[in-house]
Chains A and B, each alone.
Chain A
Amino acid sequence: MTAPALVDFDEVVERFDPMLGLEVHVELNTNTKMFCGCPTTFGAEPNTQVCPTCLGLPGSLPVVNRTAVESAIRIGLALNCEIAPWGRFARKNYFYPDMPKNFQTSQYDEPIAVNGYLDVLLDDGTTVRVEIERAHMEEDTGKSLHVGGATGRIHGAEYSLLDYNRAGVPLIEIVTKMIPGTRERAPEVARAYVTALRDLLRALGVSDVRMDQGSMRCDVNLSLSPRDSGILGTRSETKNVNSLRSVERAVRYEMTRQAGVLLAGEPVVQETRHFEEAGGSTRAGRRKETAEDYRYFPEPDLVPIAPPAEWVEELRGTLPEPPWERRRRLQAEWSLTDEELRDLVNAGALDLIEATVAAGAPAGEARSWWVAYLAQQANSRGVELAGLEITPAQVARVIALVASGSLNNKLARQVVDGVLAGEGSPDDVVAARGLAVVSDEGALVAAVDEALAAQPDVAEKIRGGKVQAAGAIVGAVMKATKGQADAKRVRELIIERVGA
């Protein structure tokens, strides 16, 4: 049986209302795991960050990580949630080799935070309020590596390797209520929400929020209702959506796929689907029609979490300026139009620019570096701006070198290229590549004189008042100095020499 054809997106929107829900898993950046003292460092040798508890050895017991609870409460507060005064962990029972105890300890029906919202800025400057159903704590599983199959999936694999370093890393799952009325903007709203959430979590300092490393993972729940019918459709749950762009694409794809299924007169199957990065499509995973019975019950090895009200209030006092308020402040400080601000936000450049400014760069210069040259570099490398191997402090240093006249813009870009290539700090690159403007005035004067002598007609024009003609001489001098001259100074020297 072949799947029905996809439906054109505009037609989907004309005939259906998308109902969108998002579940985001965030790995907290605590030093130790949720229920034991093992470190949580990403990328360590397999099975080196384990102990009896996170390996689920017989007799071992969990102890709740206080910092994780603190982070969970701060996240809940930042999402305008109510913080539960009392709640138990539950066991979610199912067998899977990468889950050491064959149950996951999770706050199932007694989440620490409920009923909040997040205001999300869209491209056109409007704000959508996304309601948060709950945020709850749980532990991550280990990782399976399936070897020998063509796809890296368990199907067809010869054997599997298990790494339990991640087992027991604290996770917060943040679940939205159904987001109604998004219509054609559903993909954009989904992306904007995850972006806003990421910015908020980053501002809170509770997670690395690296989607590429899995410290932030998104599941997209989507169903379609016949337009304006109010009838709830059957939803699919798309997992493995590992970038902001993918969130948008996954929603769009599911809308066009489900519309195709419905228009072909078939029912949408309630199932888990997996997002395929390459084609921007989703494929069917586990069927949910025989819903798995997780046999939840309260975790008897832990006592309830009962954060005292004073502690919650103390934590409220540690919340950073909310990103949307900060945006308004920066817009005023940097004199940005709404459109400029939105571009910066969309490019994920706000934090980077602010950090660059904090490192001493003027706001205008910082902004232009991040949205122009660095944005191009990120784009050509296929990474997010924040994923570039250059720090805001390094960008600020480059800007300072330009301001002091040690570099011109062209050289500055070469220095940035060097830093991105892993050649070290801007000063290392300047030294190693010999990238400093020719500041030897005598050498510059000689080069200018030589160029003027080579093009006497141009020299004559300048002398006659056609100052813009100097460009040709500037070009010749820059060529002669292999670009390592300060173009502004060269221009001054040309006027000086011609007029002399």
Chain B
Amino acid sequence: MSAELTRLTAAELAEKIHTREVSAVEVAQAHLDRVAAVDGEVHAFLHVATDAALASAAMVDEGLAAGTAPASPLAGVPLALKDVFTTLDMPTTAGSKILEGWRPPYDATVTSRLRSAGITILGKTNMDEFAMGSSTEYSAYGVTRNPWDTSRVPGGSGGGSAAALASFQAPLAIGTDTGGSIRQPAAFTGTVGVKPTYGGVSRYGLIACASSLDQGGPCARTVLDAALLHEVIGGYDPLDSTSIDERVPSVVEAARLGTSGDLSGLRVGVVRELGGEGYQAGVRASYEEALRQLEKLGAELVEVSCPHFEYGLAAYYLILPSEVSSNLARFDAMRYGLRVDKGASAEEVMAATREAGFGPEVKRRIMLGTYALSSGYYDAYYGQAQKVRTLISRDFAAAFGQADVLVSPATPTTAFPIGDKVDDPLAMYLNDLATIPTNLAGTAALSVPSGLADGLPVGLQVMAPALGEAVMYRVAAAYEAARQAEDGGPLINRVPSLPGGVA
């Protein structure tokens, strides 16, 4: 029974809980048991909040027993929260030593929306330090392993959240996507990951990596589950000035509509600059097949060109480090977190603490950003990168004039072996080639499983204009349904058993 519960989707679990077929506490316990069984191997979680999770689930059960309507369509469903959102009752580290043991005095808006929705927060998931990385190898607390092949990375920075989903430790998770940190792990683990429109999900309480690029979003094993979670966490927040004061797009309805499998009348833009050279052969094959499937669903394929995408990576690695260098200045040992009491002055303590508290990738980016913003270099680096950003937005605008959504492979390769790229930052950065343009433009995109290449999952990226999430979910849900029909079941069912688990 317990093992079966962990295989269900969030929508199925919610229905069973709300009809009181199973209790939220049983569901929470089943997932906690699964965490206990397999997370020693996977290391998706940095903190498991057993008592709080059971207490939260018990409250949902009490409410249902009293005849109260569930707080949300996902009330009682467990979730794994990326350890970059502040939580009053759990430590929050952002994967960094510099925040080891820090207990925030406030909940992030995403956290409080999850709580109000009655969602059971199981714990906090592993990530690359301050969301900088594509493998979780830069976490200060050890690497997370890919459930498909535990010698490989689950992607990053949100590898913990994606691996928790793929190893059935949670049916839902929250990630953040600055350059692909939701979509790339989703692609690597055969799960669904959505980067909403910039401003669509509040950043209040999200520990910043790069403020103008960061966006929290839903992760799940199905498109519908992601949509259900999207509607819980999305929407205007007066505490985030960059939050969009508009209604959340009706993504649940769109996802349901998508499963009918008809995409006729929709134009799907095939981005010429993404998916060719530099992409692994198996990834390319999976992508070609996905395009054929979309056509079979009735979509019209149009080739679009986004000539400035090739400068996206370079622009990204100027803008992101610049913002990082400023955002991470606050970690100075004066008010919270690690303090290395070395030296006689505040400046010396700050320097010693930052030296000891930050990992290599974080230091690299702080240095890059400090340099890029320096007087005399600003125009050539940051200023120029902002111009590229504008050009990329124009590319998107032109492409969305020809197509309702754009598609590409989510990543150039499948999951790579642990240790393979950790000493080669440039190779690591190339992981985000296809995902970065969306962050630079502030538009929306997701990754949906598109089969396996050499036994490892591949993701199809679907991109939509700002606030155009509905059509994106519809296309993804239609594709997901068609793919599963062809495969005879969800891809995720083919994930190998883990040593500790029966599944």
Q: Given A95-B350, A297-B378, are A59 and B326 also a contact pair (CB < 8 Å)? A: no
Q: Which of A11-19, A50-58, A236-244, A271-279 contacts B (4 or more CB under 8 A)?
A: A50-58
- Interface status of B204 (Cβ within 8 A of chain A): yes
- Interface status of B322 (Cβ within 8 A of chain A): yes
- Interface status of A160 (Cβ within 8 A of chain B): yes
Cα separation A57 to B86 with both chains bound (whole Å): 10
**B373 / chain A contacts, CB cutoff of 8 Å:** 93, 295-297
| Cβ-defined partner of B240 (8 Å) among A58, A61, A160, A162 | A61
Cα separation A59 to B109 with both chains bound (whole Å): 10
Binary flags per residue of A295-327, CB closer than 8 Å to B gives 1, else 0: 111001111000000000000000000000000
**A295 / chain B contacts, CB cutoff of 8 Å:** 325-326, 370, 373-375, 378
Cα separation A93 to B240 with both chains bound (whole Å): 21
**A103 / chain B contacts, CB cutoff of 8 Å:** 326, 329
**A57 / chain B contacts, CB cutoff of 8 Å:** 86, 104-106, 335-336
Asked if A95 and B323 sit within 8 Å, CB to CB, the answer is no
Cα separation A394 to B204 with both chains bound (whole Å): 50
- Interface status of A100 (Cβ within 8 A of chain B): yes
Asked if A59 and B241 sit within 8 Å, CB to CB, the answer is no
Asked if B204 and A100 sit within 8 Å, CB to CB, the answer is no
- Interface status of B203 (Cβ within 8 A of chain A): yes
Asked if A293 and B242 sit within 8 Å, CB to CB, the answer is no
- Interface status of B94 (Cβ within 8 A of chain A): yes
**What's the least CB distance linking B288 to chain A, in Å?**
38
Determine chain A's interface SS by DSSP, over half rule.
Answer: loop
- Interface status of A102 (Cβ within 8 A of chain B): yes
**A93 / chain B contacts, CB cutoff of 8 Å:** 325-326, 329, 373
- Interface status of A101 (Cβ within 8 A of chain B): yes
Cα separation A296 to B373 with both chains bound (whole Å): 7
- Interface status of A60 (Cβ within 8 A of chain B): yes
Asked if B332 and A102 sit within 8 Å, CB to CB, the answer is yes
Asked if A56 and B211 sit within 8 Å, CB to CB, the answer is no
Asked if A102 and B330 sit within 8 Å, CB to CB, the answer is yes
- Interface status of A198 (Cβ within 8 A of chain B): no
Asked if B330 and A58 sit within 8 Å, CB to CB, the answer is yes
| Cβ-defined partner of B207 (8 Å) among A59, A64, A102, A296 | A59
- Interface status of B402 (Cβ within 8 A of chain A): no
Q: Given A60-B205, A93-B329, are A300 and B323 also a contact pair (CB < 8 Å)? A: yes
Asked if B207 and A58 sit within 8 Å, CB to CB, the answer is yes
**Closest A residue, CB atoms, query B371:** A295
Cα separation A18 to B326 with both chains bound (whole Å): 39
Q: Given A102-B329, A295-B326, are A62 and B241 also a contact pair (CB < 8 Å)? A: yes
**Closest A residue, CB atoms, query B108:** A59
**A301 / chain B contacts, CB cutoff of 8 Å:** 208, 211, 241-242
**Closest A residue, CB atoms, query B99:** A58
**What's the least CB distance linking A256 to chain B, in Å?**
34
- Interface status of A432 (Cβ within 8 A of chain B): no
Tally of A interface residues using CB under 8 Å = 29
- Interface status of A91 (Cβ within 8 A of chain B): yes
Cα separation A91 to B208 with both chains bound (whole Å): 15
Asked if B241 and A302 sit within 8 Å, CB to CB, the answer is yes
User: Which residues 29-49 of B have a CB within 8 angstroms of A?
Assistant: none
Asked if B203 and A61 sit within 8 Å, CB to CB, the answer is yes
**Closest B residue, CB atoms, query A144:** B346
Among the interface residues A64, A95, A162, which one has the most CB atoms of the partner chain B within 10 A?
Answer: A95
- Interface status of A422 (Cβ within 8 A of chain B): no
**B325 / chain A contacts, CB cutoff of 8 Å:** 93, 295
Cα separation A52 to B103 with both chains bound (whole Å): 12
Cα separation A372 to B241 with both chains bound (whole Å): 54
- Interface status of A421 (Cβ within 8 A of chain B): no
- Interface status of B427 (Cβ within 8 A of chain A): no
User: Which residues 182-222 of B have a CB within 8 angstroms of A?
Assistant: 203-208, 210-212
**A52 / chain B contacts, CB cutoff of 8 Å:** 104-106
**What's the least CB distance linking A157 to chain B, in Å?**
10
Asked if A297 and B382 sit within 8 Å, CB to CB, the answer is yes
**What's the least CB distance linking B379 to chain A, in Å?**
11
Q: Given A56-B330, A57-B104, A95-B329, are A64 and B241 also a contact pair (CB < 8 Å)? A: yes
Q: Given A58-B104, A60-B204, are A95 and B347 also a contact pair (CB < 8 Å)? A: yes
- Interface status of B139 (Cβ within 8 A of chain A): no
- Interface status of A97 (Cβ within 8 A of chain B): yes
**A5 / chain B contacts, CB cutoff of 8 Å:** none
**What's the least CB distance linking A353 to chain B, in Å?**
45
- Interface status of B238 (Cβ within 8 A of chain A): yes
**A296 / chain B contacts, CB cutoff of 8 Å:** 373, 378
- Interface status of B367 (Cβ within 8 A of chain A): no
Asked if A59 and B208 sit within 8 Å, CB to CB, the answer is yes
**B108 / chain A contacts, CB cutoff of 8 Å:** 59
**B323 / chain A contacts, CB cutoff of 8 Å:** 297, 300
**A472 / chain B contacts, CB cutoff of 8 Å:** none
- Interface status of A63 (Cβ within 8 A of chain B): yes
Cα separation A59 to B104 with both chains bound (whole Å): 9
User: Which residues 237-264 of B have a CB within 8 angstroms of A?
Assistant: 238-242
**A56 / chain B contacts, CB cutoff of 8 Å:** 330, 335
- Interface status of B85 (Cβ within 8 A of chain A): yes
**B208 / chain A contacts, CB cutoff of 8 Å:** 58-59, 301
**A61 / chain B contacts, CB cutoff of 8 Å:** 203-204, 239-241
**Closest B residue, CB atoms, query A160:** B346
Asked if B86 and A59 sit within 8 Å, CB to CB, the answer is yes
Asked if A101 and B239 sit within 8 Å, CB to CB, the answer is no
- Interface status of B334 (Cβ within 8 A of chain A): yes
**What's the least CB distance linking B264 to chain A, in Å?**
40
Cα separation A304 to B197 with both chains bound (whole Å): 19
Binary flags per residue of B107-148, CB closer than 8 Å to A gives 1, else 0: 010000000000000000000000000000000000000000
Cα separation A102 to B370 with both chains bound (whole Å): 13
Binary flags per residue of B308-334, CB closer than 8 Å to A gives 1, else 0: 000000000000001101100111101
**Closest B residue, CB atoms, query A103:** B326
**B56 / chain A contacts, CB cutoff of 8 Å:** none
- Interface status of B92 (Cβ within 8 A of chain A): yes
**A58 / chain B contacts, CB cutoff of 8 Å:** 86, 92, 94, 99, 102, 104, 207-208, 330-331, 336
**What's the least CB distance linking B97 to chain A, in Å?**
14
| Cβ-defined partner of B85 (8 Å) among A59, A63, A100, A297 | A59
Interface residues of B (CB under 8 A from A): 85-86, 92, 94, 99, 102, 104-106, 108, 203-208, 210-212, 238-242, 322-323, 325-326, 329-332, 334-336, 346-347, 350, 370, 373-375, 378, 382
9 A–B pairs (Cβ distance < 8 Å), ordered by A: A52-B104, A57-B105, A59-B204, A61-B203, A61-B239, A63-B238, A295-B375, A300-B242, A302-B242
7 residue pairs, one from A and one from B, having the closest CB atoms: A102-B329, A295-B373, A300-B211, A300-B212, A59-B205, A58-B207, A59-B86
Given A63-B241, A93-B329, 9 new contacts (CB under 8 A): A59-B204, A59-B207, A60-B204, A61-B239, A61-B240, A63-B240, A295-B375, A295-B378, A300-B323
